[in-house]
């Protein structure tokens, strides 16, 4: 039987100013422009299938949810295999970032904030994380 889905096709991020946001995402993450429109701009990570879609909205929208323990969780995370280097590179570009944190399950993470205040989660699985072996299968440096 064929799989119903094979991967995440796109991530949709609400933005209030398309040009400002597209320029920001392209310059910060070195993304390729797939489609440049007024209501939606499609951007791709080089050599990756997943598209980052910036979608025009009239007012800022939440890109996170509140967990039962009160933590604020972004709807999506971007993988890093060296969270310290990712954090430093974003700081060097003048991007607002939160402090790097580590949880007991073996995950190091931080958020970066885009021009609309959207929190973009960055995550690194450490060797004692249950997700580590799975993530290493897809590692490309």
Rounded to the nearest 10 degrees, how much is the dihedral formed by the CA atoms of 3, 120, 105, 128? 70
Domains and CATH numbers, the chain: 1-58 (3.10.180.10), 62-141 (3.10.180.10)
Q: How confident is the model at residue 25 (pLDDT cuts 50, 70, 90)?
A: very high
State in Å, rounded, how far the first CA of the chain is from the last one.
Answer: 33
Distance CA 1, CA 3 (A): 7
Residue of 100, 98, 102 lying closest to 126 (CA atoms):
102
Judged against a pLDDT cut of 70, whether residue 141 lies above it is answered with: no
Residue 128 has a pLDDT of 87
Q: What is the pLDDT of residues 46-65, one digit of tens each?
A: 888 889 999 999 999 988 89
Distance CA 42, CA 36 (A): 6
The β-bridge partners of 109 are 101, 123
Judged against a pLDDT cut of 90, whether residue 32 lies above it is answered with: yes
The percent of residues in the chain predicted with pLDDT above 70, rounded, is 98
**Helical spans, DSSP H, in 2-58:** 18-29
């Amino acid at each position: 039987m064929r799989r119903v889905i094979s991967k995440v096709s796109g991530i949709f991020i609400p933005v209030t100013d398309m040009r400002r946001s597209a320029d920001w995402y392209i310059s910060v993450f070195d993304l390729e422009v797939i489609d440049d429109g007024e209501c939606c701009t499609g951007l791709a990570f080089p050599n990756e299938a997943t598209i980052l879609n910036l979608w025009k909205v009239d007012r800022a929208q939440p890109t996170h949810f509140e967990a039962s323990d009160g933590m604020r969780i972004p709807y999506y995370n971007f993988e890093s295999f060296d969270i310290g280097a990712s954090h430093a590179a974003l700081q060097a570009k003048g991007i607002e970032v939160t402090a790097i944190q580590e949880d007991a399950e073996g995950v190091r993470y931080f958020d970066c904030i885009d021009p609309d205040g959207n929190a973009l989660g960055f995550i690194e699985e450490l060797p004692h994380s249950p997700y580590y072996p799975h993530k290493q299968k897809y590692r490309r440096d």
